[in-house]
Each structure stands twice: as structure tokens, then as C-alpha cells.
Amino acid sequence: MTFIALLAPFALPTGIAGMLPFLLIIVVFYFLLIRPQQKKQRTWQQMLGSLKPGDRVTTTGGIRGTILSIKEDVIQLRVPPDNIRIEVLKSAIGSVTQDEAK
């Protein structure tokens, strides 16, 4: 048996068989990284679209307040304890908070 015959099982794949590992990596990245991020972005956009005056929100900077008014891209918040009014970008809203049961 020659040396080349011994190496035949370890020959590099060609054509579609050679591309299969790369395609598999792309599919795994899509399902583990890209798709969940798109879903999270979609739910965040829906949350921003459903905001209304009176909702209690938390900004990405950690400021909690109640929405007073909503303009196109700016939200006016009332921040306790002194009822200070501040304006934040709509994109800075991180979540809608629920009132704790009293």
C-alpha cells in the first residue's frame, strides 16, 4: 500500500461538502445570536409604540418616572419626590414598570 493511498481518507473535501461546515456555522450563528436579538428589538419597539401618558417607566440610565406627554421622539417624565419634569428621548426608555402591590 502506498503512502498516498493511506492519506486518501483524510483528503480535503471539495465542492458542497467543503462548504458544509461554513454553512453550518452561519446557521448556528443565526439561531443563537441574530434571531434572538431581532426578537428582542421587535418587542422593545412594540413596547415603545404602546406607551401612553400615565405609564410608569424606567429609562436606560435608571431614572424612574411617570409619563406626562409623548411627542414624536421625546417623552416628558415627572420624577418623584419633587415632581421634577424632565424630557428624555423615546429610545432611552428601557422598560415599563409595574406598581408594586400595596
Cα 37 from chain centroid?
4
pTM of the model: 0.69
How many CA atoms, within 13 angstroms, populate the side-chain half-sphere of residue 29?
Answer: 6
| pLDDT at residue 102, rounded to an integer | 36
| pLDDT at residue 101, rounded to an integer | 41
| Sites in the chain below the pLDDT cut of 50 | 101-102
* Fold of the 52-102 domain: SH3 type barrels. (2.30.30)
C-alpha cell of 41? 428589538
